[in-house]
Every structure is written in C-alpha cells, then in structure tokens.
Chain A
Amino acid sequence: MPLFEGLGSGGEKTAVVVDLGAAYTKCGFAGETGPRFIIPSEIKRAGSPEAVRVVQYNINTEELYSILKEFVHLLYFRHLLVNPRDRRVVIVESVLCPSHFRETLSRVFFKHFEVPSVLFAPSHLMSVMTLGIQSALVMDCGYTETLIYEGVPILSAWEALPMGGKAIHRLLWLMYCLVFNSLLVFVTDSIPEDVVEDIKVRTCFVSDLQRGMKIQEARFNLDGSAERPAPPPDVEYPLDGQKILHVKGAIRDSVAEMLFEQDNEEKSIATLLLDTLVKCPIDTRKVLSENLVIIGGTSMLPGFLHRLLSEIRSLVEKPKYRDALATKSFRIHSPPAKPNCTAWLGGAIFGALQDILGSRSVSRDYYSETGRIPDWCCLSTPLPDSVYEAGKMPPPLMKRAFSTEK
C-alpha cells in the first residue's frame, strides 16, 4: 500500500522517478500521485548570466557530462533530498533520445552518484500505464517535437515533427520583432525566452476549427479577400516593472495556428496522427483510433484538444485518408494527471512495482562489467528470456529491447 511505503520493515526504499524533458524536468518518487517538482531543465553557472540548457544533443561529451552532473546533483540535493546511493532510478525518456545522451546520463548516474540501478522507460509506454488499457496511440506535444508512438504490444509505427513549444516561442518572438518596433521604447532583442513562454501560457489559446481555418486563410491570402475574424482583446503585459508590452489580440490566437497549418509537405500535428494510423496494421487501426492519448505541455493550451479532434475528423474526410482509413471514430482519453505529468506518473506507477523493477533495470554491476546500457536500437545485447506465455498475461511490460511476442 502506498501509505506504508518506506515505513515498513521489509522492502526497499521507493525509487526515484525522473522525466528529463527538453524544457522541464519532472522529478519525484515512485508510488506517488504526482511529481514533487517540475523544474526547468537548465542550470545556472557562475560565468554566464543565461542559464544553460541541460538537454542538448549537440555538445561534446565532457561538457554534457559536467552539465548533467550538476543538474542531477541539484535534483538530488535540493529537490528530492535523498541519498543517491540508496534508491533505484527510473528515467522516463523519449524513444528518439540519441544514444550518446543516454550513455552520458547513465555514466553520470552510475559512476558519479553510484545509484544501484537505472531503468530507461519510454515515455509513451509509461503514459499508457496510467490508463489500464492494452494499447493506445500516444502523441507527445512537447517542447522540441511532437512524437507519436504506438503503445503496447508492438513498437512499430512512429512519427515525429519538429514542431512544439519552441517553435511557438520563436514565432511569437518574431511577430513581436515585426510589430512593435514603432510602438515602444526598447528594442525587441531583449525579450528573454521565459517571458515569451509566459506570454504564450497566459494569453494565447487555440481557436476552434472554423475560426482557425479563417485565420489561416486570411494570413496566406494575398489579395486580401478573405476576412479575418475579429481578434480577441489586447492584453497589456508588464515587463520588468517599468515597461509594458502590448500583446495584440491578433497575435494571441494566430500563434497556435502554426501547429495546425499544413506546410509544404502538408504536415501538421493532425496529419501526423493520421499518417501513423495509416502505417499501422489494418486490424489494429480501430482499436488505436478509439484510444488516443495526448500528453506533453504544449497540449495544455486552452482549446488544443478540441481543435485537434475536429481537425482529425475533418482531415479524415479528405481524399488522402478517406480510402486508406476505414475507421471514422476517434476518442480521446483523459489520464489521471495533467498532460505534462502523465509520462512521469506512468514511470512512478512502474517504479512502484518492486518485484520486477530490479530485474528489468540495468544494475550497477552489469554496467561496470559491460560499460554500456542496452539500447533498443543496438543489436549486440542479447534478447531477454521470453517470460510470458501467450494469453496468460496482459500487457507485457517492455524492457528496452525488442519486444518478444509469442
């Protein structure tokens, strides 16, 4: 029972669950209903005034190692307040994370903090665990990318689009550059990103389908015949206690349209979902389309889910998809946590299963023997023993290796 964890005489201590996202990191303990802290994934160094992002894939190993070491140190000694040596670690991460990053992270955990074991859990799979269903289509709208992954039992189709919160920020910032030069005293190069993020969170929203379509038309229409719907009221956003930024109404609702606009390849977030469905085997499509799960911070914009559903439903009528997909019904789940914490919650639920957490994690001894962690894209690790008989046990919880379905 979660209430008595940690006070009981037997059993090990609760595991630490970390979801290292590009923008925010969620950290906490297994078996709890929510993360203890959601902190920005960055560290402050004495040299530079700007914070350094932790999740960077393009820097060299030494620099990444020291950044990650500092960040994990903060996590343990400022937020979680526990000894690293005592508790297992569950890291919820995206499948598309480069191996180099994953290896550096595990080196930080094993060599520097000497944790007993580490488990890398795919974030999409963990989100499905919060629902108690067998399979689902999970879309993660995060900071750097939107990623779709099909849940248990087969890892087959996935799609990704480099469009997420970061792109919205950039667009917002650009729009300000263009519009506000004349109005205000300061030059627009000094709006820091967290201010942009705050403006996005507080003032922007996603319009519904008709309105959104009209806005898109008005934007691309060159001869000006399309009428743009009336913008929402402006907002005065105070900056630095002295200056005021006028957020024009037109910006508030058009920024999120970028996620739903179809670019040259006709790709948007909604088509992402439908393309994934097309890639899946025919008999699973109905099950998947009726079990959609949307996670990630960007999906918490007001009006996002409703708009997404309407987009999908309207796109499915288009000739491209009408013949390919027979299923027309789409249903969305609402997991028992906020969308930005759903993957973390799945990791926490998995981390609470102390019977099998040990056998599925990479232990420190294994790491010191082999020097690396098993990876789903690496063929040199042996397949795990097939533990399950067909039909005896529902969701085969996946290790980071190929799934074995008998």
Chain B
Amino acid sequence: MATLLQPEKVLYLVRGEKKIRVPLSQLYFCRYCSELRSLECVSHEVDSHFCPSCLENMPSAEAKLKKNRCANCFDCPCCMHTLSTRATNIPAPLPDDPTKTTMKKAYYLACGFCRWTSRDVGMADKSVASGGWQEPENPHTQRINKLIEYYQQLAQREKLERDRKKLARRRPFMPQAFSEKYGLGTRLQRQRSGAPISALYGLSLKEGEDQKEITIEPAQALDEVEPLPEDYYTRPVNLPEVTTLRQRLLQPDFQPAGASQLHPRHKHLLMKRSLRCRKCEHNLSKPEFNPTSIKFKIQLVAVQTLFTLSGLTITVLQCVLALCCVLVPSKELVLSGKDAAAEYDELAEPQGFQDDPDVVAFRKSNKIGFFIKVVPQREEGDVTVAFKLRHDFRNLAAPIRPTEEGEATSEAIWLTHHVELSLGPLAT
C-alpha cells in the first residue's frame, strides 16, 4: 500500500546550504559531526562501474580505457535493447581439403525486441562468439590528433613566455651583468638563437629548437557544396529506412541518416555511488564492490541511529507552535536502547520503567507511545505541528582502544532536531 508507511507526514529539517524538509528515510546521519545530512549536502562520488546486462564489475582504469563501455555487450542501434549473440551453422571448406565442406559455426548479433540483426547493416558473421565485433572508427581522428599536437606546441610556447615573464617580474632589480646569463630582457638577446640560456628553462627551449616545428595545413574552404540530388524531390520516402533523431544522436561521430549504416555500440556502463560528508570528509554510504550485492560496506543512515517517528510516537521536551497549540508532557521520557533481539521476543517482560499513565500510552522494547494534546487554531485546513525534538545520542562506534582501563564510555550528546508533523485535514 502506498500509504502504509506515509513517509511524507513526518519531516525533519536539515540545515545545509539552504533549509530543506525531508522524511527521515531519505536522510543520513554523520556521527562525526553529529548532524543530519541530506542528499543535497553530501558530495557524491563514483565508486565502481558495472555493466547493466552482464553485471560484471569493471575496474576504473579499464573503464576509462574502454570509454565506460562494456567489452562484451552491445546495444541495438534501433531500439537500444541489449543484443544477443546467435549462432548458425554454415558450410565452409576444410583448410586441408578444399573439396570437402564441413559445418562451421558463425555468430551474428540479433535484437530480441525489434528483430534487428547485424546482417542488416552488412556486418559479416564472425567465427568467435565474443570479441570479434569492432566499432567503426571516426574518419577524422588523425586530423584532430594533428590539430591537438599543433595547438599543444603553441600552448607550450605560451607557457614558456608566461614563465619567463614571471621570472622577469620577480627580479626587477637584477643587475645588467646577470641578464645575459638568464636570457631575460631585450629582444636582441632573444633573437639570438644560439645564445646561452640559463639552466632553468634552457633544457626545454633547446629541445624545442631542435625539435621540428609542427605545422599543420590549414583547412581548405570549398567553393561548391554538393546540391541535393534531383530525385530527392520525387523519390518517395521509405520511413523505416530513415533514422530517427534519437538513433542518430546515439552515434555522435557518424549520425547516419540511413538505417543501413547504423552500427551497434557497446553497452554503456552504470556506476555505484558513494556519499561523503562535505564537512568532515567521512564516508556516509559506501556500497559493496560486487554489482549483484545490494548491501553496503558503510551505511550511516538516519533511521538506524535516530528516532523514527510514526504516527505520534515520539519523545518531546520542548515544542514550537506552528499552526496549533500543543500541550506536551513536561517531564523527560526515558526510552531503552534498540535491542535487535528483543524484536522477536514476544514475551519480553516490562523493563521496569515507571510510567505516568497520563503521558505514556504504551511501551515496547525501544518504542514508546505518548499523548500530546493538539488544539488547532484555525477552523479548517491542514494541521501541521512543528516542534523540536531533543534527545541524547551515544556514539556507539566501537572504540579502538579497549576500555579495560576503566575509561568512561563515549559521552552522551544532546541533539536537537526540528520536526514537522502533518496531521492531515480537519474534519469539518
């Protein structure tokens, strides 16, 4: 049932960059800062990569090399479903004896959803089940690499100039005698290519001079552009043969207009995220390495450490008036700690707390119910109660040093949370 847990009814205020109100189930609790954290005030980091179809973990170095794509799985270029490899038997001549033919396995890719196969785009069947298919290469790669090299050379020169200027600025009082040695100053000295240059940057400059200067031919502009072919105006359009924009944009390098040029691409990976508190840089949530595991190595979620409010079961000391008056018990209420085993123990004896029956409704292991009176101030509308919940929190992280020396256990800290409870509309 969607309304069973009703998480939106009880909201906690989180003071991050801006104040946001979030249910406790979506919050984390940093026990080093002793504060609530929401998804907005933690920094997200990429933890591990994995392929969504074969669920294989990929180390990040390999993922970077493969451009975050799985080596084995392919996506259908038409419908983006995962492709499966199918095998057929084709007759092929034996290497020893050309006259006899034997059945050999040939593999091709096929989509189970839209019935696309690799034979539609003209990809030949491969003789190995995986690793045979290559993605086509961008024809402009070489030109782009050359451009990058050329610009890197210019950038290097600019950096040298900048460094030299910095050096010049740092020592304005340099006597004239030294300027020759350091190669600073006038144009005359710079123009002499054979001049002795200081060891500071002499090495790189000398190397630069020996190195062949990379030049590229600038791009040539064309006078004429190919016009549309004449039959464009009269040829009927075969719509399934024309690629949609979405299909084109999946292959940014080629963006083919015809479906017969749509090549499959390797499947893109997904990643697992880990969360880190921005202030103290401790990890709040770290997932397991194995892609199939849903557990966490570190999971500092708020519901484990703080009180969960459901309905009206809370401990309250002070209250802040929102839309109504709330009369709360003025005494401190005691709650026993969470004991995992006691959950299953139906016949647990009462713990021996003396409860005022006017205040406390019921008590069971680590849950307590109590009464508060709510007096709405308005005739109609939704009733929202806002109050501050103050409780003590013992950091139960296991101390590294044993406590046999008689040290006190960790101090109890009093934490205050601002809670908002929406009680629903008034019955008219």
Give me the interface of A with B, judged by CB distance under 8 Å.
Answer: 1-2, 6-7, 24, 26, 31, 33-39, 73, 77-83, 85, 111-114, 129-134, 197-198, 201-203, 205-208, 211, 229-230, 232-233, 235-238, 253, 290-292, 300, 302-303, 305-306, 309, 329, 331-338, 340-341, 345, 349-350, 352-356, 359, 385, 387-388, 393-395, 397
Q: Is B242 an interface residue (CB 8 A)?
A: yes
Mask for B237-277, Cβ within 8 A of A = 1, else 0? 10100111110110011010100000000001111010000
Which of B80-88, B100-108, B143-151 contacts the other chain?
B143-151
Which residues in chain B, 27-68, are within 8 Å of chain A measured between CB atoms?
40, 43-46, 49, 61, 63-65, 67-68
15 A–B contact pairs at CB < 8 A? A33-B140, A35-B252, A80-B68, A81-B46, A129-B147, A134-B218, A198-B246, A201-B245, A202-B244, A230-B233, A238-B239, A303-B228, A306-B225, A332-B221, A397-B154
On whether the beta carbons of B244 and A198 are closer than 8 Å, the reply is yes
On whether the beta carbons of A353 and B223 are closer than 8 Å, the reply is no
User: Within the complex, which residue of A206, A335, A385 is in contact with B165, where a contact is CB–CB below 8 Å?
Assistant: A385
Contact A305/B225 with A73-B44, A356-B155 known, Cβ cut-off 8 Å: yes
On whether the beta carbons of B141 and A33 are closer than 8 Å, the reply is yes
The smallest beta-carbon distance between B75 and chain A, in angstroms, is 13
The smallest beta-carbon distance between A44 and chain B, in angstroms, is 15
On whether the beta carbons of B162 and A132 are closer than 8 Å, the reply is no
Per the bound structure, the CA–CA distance linking A355 and B208 in Å amounts to 15
Per the bound structure, the CA–CA distance linking A133 and B150 in Å amounts to 12
On whether the beta carbons of B237 and A202 are closer than 8 Å, the reply is yes
Find the B residue at minimum CB distance from A290: B221
Chain B residues with CB under 8 Å of A300's CB are: 255
Q: Is B200 an interface residue (CB 8 A)?
A: no
Closest CB pairs A-B (n = 10):
A331-B221, A336-B140, A131-B219, A353-B155, A303-B228, A34-B253, A38-B249, A233-B236, A355-B159, A133-B218
On whether the beta carbons of B271 and A356 are closer than 8 Å, the reply is no
The smallest beta-carbon distance between B25 and chain A, in angstroms, is 16
Q: Is B298 an interface residue (CB 8 A)?
A: no
On whether the beta carbons of A7 and B162 are closer than 8 Å, the reply is no
Per the bound structure, the CA–CA distance linking A306 and B224 in Å amounts to 8
The smallest beta-carbon distance between B376 and chain A, in angstroms, is 29
Q: Is B130 an interface residue (CB 8 A)?
A: no
Per the bound structure, the CA–CA distance linking A207 and B229 in Å amounts to 10
User: Within the complex, which residue of A6, A81, A201 is in contact with B49, where a contact is CB–CB below 8 Å?
Assistant: A81
Chain B residues with CB under 8 Å of A31's CB are: 148
Chain B residues with CB under 8 Å of A356's CB are: 155, 158-159
Mask for B149-168, Cβ within 8 A of A = 1, else 0? 01110111111011001000
Find the B residue at minimum CB distance from A37: B252
Contact A349/B147 with A233-B234, A236-B239 known, Cβ cut-off 8 Å: yes
User: Within the complex, which residue of A81, A291, A303, A352 is in contact with B269, where a contact is CB–CB below 8 Å?
Assistant: A81
Give me the interface of B with A, judged by CB distance under 8 Å.
Answer: 17, 40, 43-46, 49, 61, 63-65, 67-68, 138, 140-141, 143-145, 147-148, 150-152, 154-159, 161-162, 165, 216-228, 232-237, 239, 242-246, 248-249, 252-253, 255, 257, 268-271, 273
User: Within the complex, which residue of B68, B235, B246 is in contact with A233, where a contact is CB–CB below 8 Å?
Assistant: B235
User: Within the complex, which residue of A202, A232, A303, A359 is in contact with B239, where a contact is CB–CB below 8 Å?
Assistant: A202
The smallest beta-carbon distance between A313 and chain B, in angstroms, is 11
Per the bound structure, the CA–CA distance linking A34 and B233 in Å amounts to 33
Chain B residues with CB under 8 Å of A206's CB are: 228
The smallest beta-carbon distance between A91 and chain B, in angstroms, is 18
On whether the beta carbons of B273 and A352 are closer than 8 Å, the reply is no
Contact A133/B219 with A309-B225, A355-B158, A387-B161 known, Cβ cut-off 8 Å: yes
Per the bound structure, the CA–CA distance linking A136 and B244 in Å amounts to 32
Chain A residues with CB under 8 Å of B156's CB are: 355
On whether the beta carbons of A34 and B138 are closer than 8 Å, the reply is yes
User: Within the complex, which residue of B162, B225, B234, B239 is in contact with A235, where a contact is CB–CB below 8 Å?
Assistant: B239
The smallest beta-carbon distance between A332 and chain B, in angstroms, is 6
Per the bound structure, the CA–CA distance linking A332 and B154 in Å amounts to 26
User: Within the complex, which residue of A24, A82, A203, A388 is in contact with B161, where a contact is CB–CB below 8 Å?
Assistant: A388
Find the A residue at minimum CB distance from B217: A132
On whether the beta carbons of B159 and A77 are closer than 8 Å, the reply is no
On whether the beta carbons of B252 and A341 are closer than 8 Å, the reply is yes
Chain B residues with CB under 8 Å of A302's CB are: 228, 232, 257
The smallest beta-carbon distance between A98 and chain B, in angstroms, is 23
On whether the beta carbons of A83 and B144 are closer than 8 Å, the reply is no
Q: B43, B67, B155, B156: which has the most chain A beta carbons within 10 Å?
A: B155
The smallest beta-carbon distance between B51 and chain A, in angstroms, is 12
- Extra pairs beyond A238-B239, A333-B220 (10, CB < 8 Å): A2-B145, A36-B252, A77-B46, A85-B45, A207-B228, A211-B233, A300-B255, A305-B225, A336-B144, A355-B155
The smallest beta-carbon distance between A18 and chain B, in angstroms, is 14
Per the bound structure, the CA–CA distance linking A300 and B248 in Å amounts to 12
Chain B residues with CB under 8 Å of A355's CB are: 152, 155-156, 158-159
On whether the beta carbons of A232 and B218 are closer than 8 Å, the reply is no
User: Within the complex, which residue of B143, B221, B224, B235 is in contact with A333, where a contact is CB–CB below 8 Å?
Assistant: B221
Contact A359/B162 with A33-B141, A132-B150, A352-B152 known, Cβ cut-off 8 Å: yes
Per the bound structure, the CA–CA distance linking A394 and B155 in Å amounts to 11
Find the A residue at minimum CB distance from B243: A202
Chain A residues with CB under 8 Å of B253's CB are: 33-34, 337-338
Chain B residues with CB under 8 Å of A235's CB are: 236-237, 239
Contact A205/B162 with A77-B44, A332-B222 known, Cβ cut-off 8 Å: no
Chain B residues with CB under 8 Å of A134's CB are: 218
The smallest beta-carbon distance between A228 and chain B, in angstroms, is 13
Per the bound structure, the CA–CA distance linking A36 and B237 in Å amounts to 31
On whether the beta carbons of B228 and A333 are closer than 8 Å, the reply is no
The smallest beta-carbon distance between B144 and chain A, in angstroms, is 5
Find the B residue at minimum CB distance from A356: B155
On whether the beta carbons of B148 and A349 are closer than 8 Å, the reply is yes
The smallest beta-carbon distance between A139 and chain B, in angstroms, is 14
On whether the beta carbons of A36 and B67 are closer than 8 Å, the reply is yes
Chain A residues with CB under 8 Å of B155's CB are: 353-356
Chain A residues with CB under 8 Å of B218's CB are: 131-134
On whether the beta carbons of A83 and B45 are closer than 8 Å, the reply is yes
On whether the beta carbons of B252 and A129 are closer than 8 Å, the reply is no
On whether the beta carbons of B151 and A202 are closer than 8 Å, the reply is no
Chain B residues with CB under 8 Å of A35's CB are: 252
